[in-house]
Structure 1
Amino acid sequence: MSDATARLCGRCQDLPPKLEGGGRLFLWCPLGHSFGKLVASLREAGREFQVRPEAQCVVALVAEGDLGRLAESLPGALTEEEVRGTRALFVAGEGEPGLADYPRVGSLRQLATLAQAGWLVDMMKEQRLTSHFQPIVHAQDTRRIFAHEALLRGRERDGALVSPGRMMQTARDADLLFQLDLAARTTAIREAVRHRLNTHLFINFTPTAIYDPAYCLRSTVAAISEAGIPPQAVVFEVIESDQAADPKHLKGIINYYRQAGFRVALDDLGAGYSSLNLIHQLRPDIVKLDMELVRDVHLDPYKAAIVGKMLEIARQLGIQTVAEGIETPEELRWVRTHGVDFVQGYLIARPQGAPAEATPYFTG
């Protein structure tokens, strides 16, 4: 991605500095009871601090290199709800917070997690992210590959892989989801180009990691254009759709992608109570059936009835379907018989560093 493209994404591109250096940690408590527990904890630990009772604020003095240790220790004195409700701000030196500091105020939980998230910040700074690719194949002939889904992976400095679940959970808790989601998208594009991918490419995105699609997504669209990937070959896949706070915001993101010429897939259909409503709100081009519904669908009449109805609805609406998590020949036969368009799962192929050229595991 060029420097000009990178500059398009301020909030998503900037990584926080490591928690180091001396200064003062300002803590605003949600309740007087929380305030008292925090003061007692600091006193018991022999910490130097100031009390500002009129604002229910405690100001802890932080020595050089000690902020991370302090941020990790403080949550132990409070309940989890108090930790999430307590606001925290670190100010270097001896100054008071100014207007420019207020956007940096977050929860004590975020600060404590960020103190332990240096590994993730370093991983993004050093561009130690990569993508593994899992094929999505035609249900009626699994030797024909329709697309590859790009799945985020991290790498330790020694080359060991880091799971996406660990990265995403840390990013959520440390308020790094914007940065990680952008890095995952651009990594998928970079790796697809490096491997000369010649199928459709599914790229995941998290709606809650996008403020304004017209601003936040420009770098992603520009990266695809610079890479020379045809827009019609790219499918943006909505993940965590049931956690999107505002359906109108999600629809705005979808519309932005569509106007740029991309297709849109809705992931995990059937996993969340709101996912069926999202079909008529978002009008996706593709829906992916939740793997928990697909698991043993041939043995469970309840699952069979639900999945069968979903496939029927999709056919009536002209929406293509993908059955995720196919692990047995029986599951494959069932979804194939009931008209699914594409399948994905360990029976076909596991995610791997290089995109598969042919289906090696099952061609029946």
Structure 2
Amino acid sequence: MNHTQPPSLCARCETLPTKIEGKGRLYLWFPSGHSLTKVLHYLRKAELDYELKEEGQCLAIQLEEVQTETCVNTLAGILTHNELKNTQALFMTHANAPQLRDCARTTTLARLTHLNQSGWLLDLLAADRVTCQFQPIVSTQDTSVIFAQEALFRGIAPNGSFIPPGQIFSLATEAGILVQLDLIARRTAIRETMRHQIKEHIFINFSPTSIYDPTSCLRSTMQAIDEAGISHEQIVFEVVESNQPQDTEHLKDILNVYREAGFRMALDDFGEGGSNLNLLHQLRPDFIKLDMSLIRNVQADPYKAFVTEKILEIASHLNIQTIAEGIESLEELHWVRQRGATFVQGYLISHPTTFPLITPPQITTSSLEVG
């Protein structure tokens, strides 16, 4: 009798790379002979052992434990940015020559260099020194009514302070570990939601570029949600980088996997940078979050007001719920309230907090209406 096996968890997503340290061999494949010449000059001067392989196409550098970090950092200094991006690299701690199975661990020298500089981040993730803060998304018409909490990823420094997420995600992208970090961030949001017994909707951010096979890459996220006992209808997955050029077909595949499982979808930072209206009919999100660059002082800028008002009108006609991000003043709240934004989020309501806010203030704009 045949049984359909569920897709396995994604090994790449589940495994953090190890730091580049200890004794081993660094294999390099250069884009040009000029790059190789510069590196050979350095190796001879530093009196490091090396061997040219594959008729000079591959350079194998033998490194003792104390030499590894210095060598990688020096290579980053003598090669150009493009050379680093186009040089393939593989670090191996055993003496055997690279085999076919090792190909999956080959990366660019640029990423290997950033990985070498991200030891603190790998230690932080390996030790699970991560958490979430929460920021409420509330009804525009009655700001005391919480619709959802957005889970915002935070690293925890050794002294207990929070590490800004921008610093973490920027380094992870450069070091090629965004896939692992994004999964850890999603799991952390689920864990903290369960810990605080949050009953409202939860907005969980994810980066489409961190997911290369939707079925296997997202399986562990859904497994964590089910093990936490959280209803799928409670979760809204928020596409970050929606203002960046997208592989739309890939993103649609991801959203289809989530939708088929009963989750809802939101586009973040809509109206900022390169985001465009094509995403609305291509992806058909349940929510769009109007970027704070549109909302900031919208009442005083006729150009910004015209664009924002049209986005709100289009979303209303398409039955897409809207969230005005970055509300910081009564004037901004009054403006989006008058023009039908469904929800608002921002410092006027609440800063992100470690313990989810239970009762936000009811903010009226009656004095502005009189004016």
Partner of 1:326: 327
CA shift in 2, pair 1:292/1:10, >3 Å: same
- 1:242 positional shift: 4.3
Amino acid of the residue matched to residue 257 of structure 2?
Y
Alpha-carbon distance in 2 for matches of 1:197, 1:159: 24
Deviation per CA, 1:180-208: give whole Å up to 9, x if none.
Answer: 00000010010011111121100000111
Partner of 1:118: 119
Identity of aligned residues (%): 52
Asked if structure 1 preserves the Cα contact closer than 8 Å seen for 2:142 and 2:362, the reply is no
Amino acid of the residue matched to residue 134 of structure 2?
F
Asked if structure 2 preserves the Cα contact closer than 8 Å seen for 1:20 and 1:66, the reply is no
Amino acid of the residue matched to residue 41 of structure 1?
Y
Amino acid of the residue matched to residue 249 of structure 1?
H
Deviation per CA, 1:106-160: give whole Å up to 9, x if none.
Answer: 1111111111111111111111110000011111111111101000000122212
CA shift in 2, pair 1:230/1:53, >3 Å: closer
SS at match of 2:21: coil
Asked if structure 2 preserves the Cα contact closer than 8 Å seen for 1:294 and 1:331, the reply is yes
SS at match of 1:88: strand
Aligned runs of 1:25-44 on 2, under 5 Å?
A: 25-44=26-45
Partner of 1:212: 213
Alpha-carbon distance in 2 for matches of 1:47, 1:330: 65
SS at match of 2:22: coil
Asked if structure 2 preserves the Cα contact closer than 8 Å seen for 1:201 and 1:233, the reply is yes
Alpha-carbon distance in 2 for matches of 1:59, 1:329: 63
Amino acid of the residue matched to residue 169 of structure 1?
S
- The reply on whether 1:316 has 2:310 as its aligned counterpart is no
Aligned runs of 1:140-219 on 2, under 5 Å?
A: 140-219=141-220
Moved more, 142-151 or 352-361: 352-361
- The reply on whether 1:352 has 2:353 as its aligned counterpart is yes
Partner of 2:368: none
Size of the aligned set, in residue pairs, is 359
Partner of 1:301: 302
- 1:85 positional shift: 1.0
Alpha-carbon distance in 2 for matches of 1:361, 1:320: 21
Aligned runs of 1:40-189 on 2, under 5 Å?
A: 40-52=41-53, 54-189=55-190
For normalisation by structure 2, the TM-score amounts to 0.93
CA shift in 2, pair 1:87/1:228, >3 Å: same
Asked if structure 2 preserves the Cα contact closer than 8 Å seen for 1:347 and 1:361, the reply is no
Partner of 1:336: 337
Structure 2 residue runs without a partner (length 5+): 1-5, 366-371
Moved more, 277-286 or 41-50: 41-50
For normalisation by structure 1, the TM-score amounts to 0.94
Amino acid of the residue matched to residue 44 of structure 1?
K
SS at match of 2:128: coil
Moved more, 111-120 or 240-249: 240-249
